[in-house]
Structure 1
Amino acid sequence: MAPAAAGYFRRMARKLTEDIDQLDAEELESTSKASGAQRACDCTRGDEVTMVGRLRSVETCSKAANAIVEAEFFDGTDTISLIWIGRRKIAGIESGTQLLVRGRVGEREGRKVIYNPYYELRTED
């Protein structure tokens, strides 16, 4: 069998047998690295960062509560909470959306967070 064909079958077997979440994380990390963005796992409190990743979940507050949209951002290496204060809904911000985000990393309850990040919606490549 030709080396190219063997490599193809090896990649196909890997895609069929590996954990989907692990493959997704590797793909996100690769996309982030290719764009020149920083990795979430390397960011610490106080860092000004630019990252590329996907929203895993998005929560909005009730009308009686303060206006907040909170999203879990994942770049393949780590998660960061994105919190927009003063917003009840943001067009395009929903689970599964790929984003480029910029902001200063903070900390809330021991977890990384960026308040009111700048963001750009990205299309799947």
Structure 2
Amino acid sequence: MGTTDGGAFKRMLKRLTSDVDTLDADDLSSDAEKSGAQRASDCACGEEVEVLGRLRSVEFCPQDANASLEAELFDGSEGVTLIWLGRRRIPGIEPGRTMRVRGRLAVRDGRKVLYNPFYEICQAQ
């Protein structure tokens, strides 16, 4: 008799006992790592970053002359707020979409933010 791989059993047991949100975060983090994108949790203010994740929310924020479209992108490690200044709507930017975004990271009110990021909407897997 040979030895068995305890690692495979531990991974299967973890998948069976973890909640859906934890499993989703693990899958997102794994997809981002495979694509070569950075983990949001590892990104620092002032850096040029590229993050892959799923949009959790999208909302129009009318604030007089400073109206913007704001979205929360979650990559499995941390959320990043995406802000497009002067936009009410962008076709394809909606909750549940997977996106790759790129830009210079800022911090606003303790949250990581990308202003007017370059973006690519990715096909569902």
Q: TM-score range by the shorter chain?
A: 0.7 to 0.9
Secondary structure class of the residue paired with 1:22: helix
Q: Which residue does 1:113 correspond to in 2?
A: 113
> Per-residue deviation at 1:63?
8.7
Q: CA RMSD in A?
A: 2.4
Structure 1 counterpart of 2:101: 101
1:47–1:64 Cα change, 3 Å: closer
Residue aligning to 1:39? 39
Q: TM-score, normalised by structure 1?
A: 0.86
| Distance in structure 2 (CA, Å) of the matches to 1:69 and 1:89 | 7
What percentage of residue pairs aligned between the two structures are identical? 53
What does residue 19 of structure 2 align with? Answer: 19
AA paired with 1:107? V
- The residue number in structure 2 matching 1:50 is 50
When normalised by structure 2's length, the TM-score is 0.86
Segments of 5+ residues of structure 1 without an aligned counterpart are none
Displacement of 1:17 in angstroms is: 3.3
CA–CA separation in structure 2 for the residues paired with 1:25 and 1:98:
13
